[in-house]
Each structure stands twice: as structure tokens, then as C-alpha cells.
Amino acid sequence: MAQVMFDPSLQQDVRLRLFERMVILRRFEKRVYDLFLEGFVKGTSHLSIGQEAIAAGFGEAMQASDWTFATYRGHAHTLSRGVEMAPVMAELMGRVGGLMGGKGGSMHLTSVDHGMMGSYAIVGAHLPIAVGAALSAKYRKSNQVAVCFFGDGTTNIGAFHEALNFAAVYDLPVVFVCENNLYMEYTSIHDVTAVEHPAADRAASYGLERIIVDGNDVSEMYRVAQERLQWARAGQGPSLIEAMTYRHNGHSRADPGKYRPDTEVAAWMQRDPIPAYRRRLELEGVAVALLDEIEERVAVAVDEATEVAKASPPPPADLAWRDVWSDGGWQWRS
Amino acid sequence: MAELSYREAVYRALAQEMERDERVVFLGEDVAKAGGVFKATSGLLDRFGPGRVIDTPISEQAILGALMGAAMTGLRPVAEIMYSDFFGVCWDIVANQMAKTRYMTNGQVTIPVVIRSGNGGGLRFGAQHSQSIENWAMAVPGLKVALPSTPHDLIGLFAAAVRDDDPVIFLESKSLYATKDEVADGEIVESLGRARLVRSGTDVTIVTIGAMVHRSREAADRLAQEFGIDCAVIDLRTLVPLDIGTVLASVGETSRLFTVEENPQLCGWGAEVVSIVSDEGFYTLDGPPVRITTPHIPLPAAAELEDQVIPSVDRIVEVIMKRVG
Ligand SMILES: Cc1ncc(C[n+]2csc(CCOP(=O)(O)OP(=O)(O)O)c2C)c(N)n1
Ligand SMILES: [Mg+2]
């Protein structure tokens, strides 16, 4: 993969925002991991540490009215749409101040006001749902684009194939982004997939371009995101992007990820997207002080969000009975 | 007033709602150009165009996922799942996604969808094209379930379903498509969660739904004529919401409860009705509540076998006679 070491076309403010977005995702999730080990974050949590460039690049490129559909590994995509840290943190802790009042949890982060249309915990389900949003955008001529993020493992479930065909048949404005981190939960994607590139090698089946990008290069992610969003807005139909990346942590919770060879882990740690981008910005002449200031600002924000979340009480009991139905209640008899 | 078949009522119901609200779009397999496998939607494509009446690939997850995504973003879409047996490949989207997303998101998301489907037996199609799946659907919190038994109710309940902000599983009885009834002109809108008293009676309450409504009424007529047993027949019309109030009121007068259900026995909707009446109407009962259902077996294809297992007029008469007469 050819490395573009200098990208003068990007405005400095865009570059700094890309950097800041990644730093937010990284520092937030490192805190989540600590809080999980301390017992504050309950249940489960799937971190995107190592994969931040994808969410950051798209978050920067998307318009406010565009839609994100993510998986259970959705903290990064939620924050990257501009959702505040504190309600996300509180949701992970099961507090009433959480993004969904504590009713959804880590795997279902949603903020419709930010275009974050949900995090889905059944593999593959949200691809057809994103297709439906795109159908509605096309029907209403609203110029919105649905962006759907999922993993390599998701390319082997039927819903992936149904959704791609469906989107292609009706030329719908949806961008499918496969974050190929080389593993499903604990099994290498290569062991269970008939082709080398689980997403890109299937693109031709649906008349789509074969697109593979370095998912650890945030400016490349930003570029491809802009290009594909534009493609969708121009009425050219869906795109399927395979972004090569790697998760630093295990699949979820405290999984140590022992099924991955040490050399592989070490090689990918060398390709950590955040220090790499920082080095590049420094080479491009961005002042070190400016980058340090971003790091510090984010560190303070994470501390503050943690305190706000910890101070939020558990949800009141009656919340369990709310919003089963659109009338706000749970009654099924009349 | 015009005589309309249950099949023709499907067209009229869709046309009524699509004419009224351009957010209503309709998608499914073979529904547009071909007019549907039951020929219930012929003419819709010509009237509303390919942007609103959409032929889809054989992709139930994509159809229903698209329905949900479209509903989340401002449309009020309707899908057809050809045979309700095919819900077997739909449940993730229906039960995990549509039914739960409002709740999980603390009310941020609204999913006004209607899934129409041909349900039930009587057409000799065998075990994979004859099932009554209403009990599958009502077991999932977050889904409403409607089963119209007449052309009028098909239109009125469909209109209510389209206008409702929650997901509605709308089960049309395949065996009723050819049946006809008088239907008033003009707009028809009913409400979800309101049972209909098909026949009043003082001795026995029969609670039923869908295709079984007609058999129950015929049985009630025979029981009255031949044995002097006067049966009230209640068509629940929707299982969720469940109009248990109407059932309790009737049992309060008759003191006897029978359910007539097309679904297989275990966990059929009647079990829930009997359970509530036993709890809340116990002291009004003069005898045990009795369920008349299809036995807990897959449905056979041959006419003689299928007719033997789905509740028939004869069986309903016989059971009620034996228990009450
Ligand atoms: C239908 C379904 N099957 C299995 C699971 C359990 N599961 C959760 S995450 C996961 C791995 C998914 O891998 P991938 O798509 O590569 O995403 P990643 O976790 O690597 O981001 C599995 C098997 C599930 N949630 N849904
Ligand atoms: Mg993976």
C-alpha cells in the first residue's frame, strides 16, 4: 500500500479534528476498560481501540443529516457523530443519565438527534435496516446517506448478501463499511471464509467496485469516506468498502486475545493509527504544542465525563415499564 | 354498500391508506407486476407507480430490514410476507429489531410498520405453507397482532395498523380470500384492541379469531337450533392488544368459556385467555374453560387429514355439547 506522507489538500483544521476525534475515541475507551475492570461498567463492552481511524474519518466526512448504523462495537461510531461522552459513559454504567436511560446498554448506543440510528447486537441485522433508511432517503429525495459499519465476520451471514443485492438493485444511497480486523470473536476470518478479502472479493457479485483501504490511515479513511458519500449523494448507488485494521484488545470484556500470534499483534501495534497520524502531522509542520493541547483537553474531558456518569443515579424502577409501545407504556390488554 | 371478497378487500385497504398518506409504500415478493401470489394486490402498481409498489428479491431479511429502516426515517411502510410460515427466516428483524428498538433506545425510535402475511390452513398446502403463527408473534413483547375475519375488518384493521406507531403483524387467513361480504362504501377504520361480538348468547362464551370465527358462528347456530344452547361468539380481532374486558364481561353472563383456535395447542393464544379468565373471572365460572385447537402436530396435506385436525364446525358443536349439554 502506497503511503502518502503529506496531504496538503487537507485544511489544517480538518487534520486537527481528525486527530482530536481519534484521541477522544482512544482515551474514552481506555477509561471504559479501566471502569469495566473496576466494576463500574457492567455487562459487556466491545472496544474499538486500534480501529479509531475508520470512525474518525467517516465522522468527519459525514453531514449532520446522514445516518450511522453500527454494531455492538459502537462506542467509537457514537462519539464520532458528536454525541457527548458523559451520557455514553453513563449508559455503559447503567445510569439514568445514560444515552438511553440505562435501558440499552453498551451494545445498543443510539442517538437519533445525532444521526446515530443505533448499534445492533445481532450480527448482520443492521445492514438491511440501513438499506431501508437509504430507501427512505431516495423516496423522499432528502439527499441523506446511510453509512453502515460492520466486521469481517458479518460478511458470512445471509443478511449481508441480501442487503447488498437489495441496495444495488434499487441504487440506494448507502455506504457499507467492513472493518476487517481479521477476526470474528476468537476465530480468524481466513479459517472460515472462501475468499481472501471477505468484503471486497464479494463486491463484484453485486456489481460494485472492489475497494480496499488502509483502515489505520485516518486521512485515507476521510478521503474514501468523502468520495463514497459523494457517490451516494450523486445517485450512483451503494458502495462497499473493506478497511483493513486490527483491534488492540480482545473481542469483548476482558478477553486477552490469546488466539492471536504475538508477532501479528506486535506488527499491528507498530501501525497504531494515532501515533502514526501524530507523527505525520508533526512532519507536516503542525506544532507539537497544538497536538499536546488536544491530548490534554481530551484527557480532562474524559475525567469530567467519568465523574458526571458516576454521579448519575441508577434508573428509577418504573423505567422498565416504559416505551414498549408508542404510547409510552407496556400494556397489552384492553 | 357493495359485495367484496376478502381478497378484494386487501386491494381496497392498501389503496385507501396509500391514497391518504404518501408515506405509505408497499413491498414484497411478486406483489407489483404480478399482483401477488394470491392476486390480492393486482392493480396497485398501475395506480401508485413503481416508487411505492415495489417488487423485491426473495430476501425476507432485506425486505423487513428495509421496512424497519424506512419506518425509522419517516415512512410508514407495509410489507407482504407471502406465507406466514416464512416468518421462520424473518424473526431476527421482527423479534429482535422491530419489537425491541423503541424500548432499548428509551423511546427515541418509532417503527410504524405493517407486515401482511397469508396465514393458516385449509388449502392442502402441507406443513410449511399452512401454519397459524399468531401464537409465535404474540409471544414477543413489542409486536401487535391482528387477524381480520371479514372483508370489512380487513380494511378497517389494516387502516388502524398503518396508522398505529408500533409494528403490527397482520395475518390474513388464506382460506378466507375467496369469501365475500357486504362492505360499506367510503373510508373504513377500526381500532386495534377492540373485540367484536359476532353473536350474542347467554349460555356459553366462544372466544375465537381469524378463520375460526366463521366456524364458531356456524357451530353456535347449530347448537342453538339443534340443542337449545345459546352461545355468544366473540371475534378478538387482535391478540395484542387483547380485549380481555369484552371476554370477561361475556363470561360474567354465560359462566362458560370455550376458545376456538387454529394454532397448535401448546402455548396457543387461548391458553392466555383461559389463564386470565381463570384468575380474574374464576367465581363467575360454572365449569372448566375448554380450548378447542389444532392438536400439537405439523399440518398434514391430504384433505381428509387436514380437515380432521383443524377445528371444524362438527368438532366445536361436539365438544360444547359434551361439556355443556
Ligand atoms: C447472528 C449472530 N451470531 C453470532 C453472534 C455472536 N457474535 C457476536 S460478535 C461476533 C463476531 C463478529 O465478528 P465481526 O463481524 O468480524 O465483528 P468484530 O467483532 O470483529 O467487530 C459473534 C460471532 C451474534 N451476535 N449474532
Ligand atoms: Mg472482525
Residues B61 and B147 in one domain: yes
Give residue A88's pLDDT. 98
Cell numbers placing B94? 421482527
CATH classification (class only), A12-306: alpha beta
Number of structural domains, chain B?
A: 2
CB A76 within 8 A of CB A106: no
The ipTM assigned to this model is: 0.97
Whether residue A25 has pLDDT greater than 80:
yes
pLDDT one-digit tens code per residue, B187-234: 999 999 999 999 999 999 999 999 999 999 999 999 999 999 999 999
CA dist., res. A180 & res. A120, Å (int): 18
Q: Per-residue pLDDT averaged across B17-39, rounded?
A: 97
Q: Please report the atom of ligand 1 found closest to the CA of residue A152.
A: 16
Q: Hey, are the CB atoms on A110 and B108 less than 8 Å from each other? A: yes
Asked, for residue B190, whether it belongs to a domain, the answer is no
End position of a domain, from candidates B126, B157, B183? B183
Domain boundary, last residue among B129, B148, B183: B183
User: Does A254 have pLDDT greater than 90?
Assistant: no
Indicate whether A6 pLDDT > 60.
Answer: no
> Which sequence positions of B are flagged as catalytic?
129
pLDDT exceeds 50 at position B18? yes
DSSP state of B272: H
Q: What are the angstrom distances between the C-alpha of A88 and each of A145, A302, B269? A: 24, 11, 40
List, for residues B63-106, the tens digit of each pLDDT value: 999 999 999 999 999 999 999 999 999 999 999 999 999 999 99
Q: Whose CA is nearest to atom 9 of ligand 1?
A: A185
Q: What is the mean pLDDT of chain B?
A: 98
pLDDT reading at A66 higher than 60:
yes
Question: What's the confidence (pLDDT) of residue A1?
Answer: 35
Percent of chain B with pLDDT over 90: 99
Question: pLDDT tens-digit profile of A169-212?
Answer: 999 999 999 999 999 999 999 999 999 999 999 999 999 999 99
Q: What is the DSSP string of B81-137?
A: EEEGGGGGGTHIIIIIIITTHHHHTTT------EEEEEE--SSS--TTS----HHHH
What percent of chain B clears pLDDT 70, i.e. is strictly above it? 100
The domain that contains B171 carries what CATH number? 3.40.50.970
Please compute the mean of the pLDDT values over residues B294-299 and round it to a whole number. Answer: 98
Residue B158: domain span: 2-183
The verdict on B165 and B92 lying in the same domain is yes
- Taking the whole predicted model, whether its pTM rises above 0.95 is answered as yes
Indicate whether A275 pLDDT > 70. Answer: yes
Shared domain for B268 and B318, answered yes or no, is yes
> Please, which residues have CB within 8 angstroms of residue A9's CB and are 6 or more apart in sequence?
none
Average pLDDT over residues A129-139: 98
Which pLDDT band, with edges at 50, 70 and 90, does B48 fall under?
Answer: very high
> Looking at the predicted structure, is the pLDDT value of residue A4 above 80?
no
Which residues form the pocket of ligand 1, taking CB atoms under 6 Å from any ligand atom?
A 73, 121-123, 150-154, 181, 183-185, 251
A-chain residue closest to B163, CA distance: A326
Do B154 and B41 share a domain, yes or no? yes
A333–B73 CB contact, under 8 Å: no
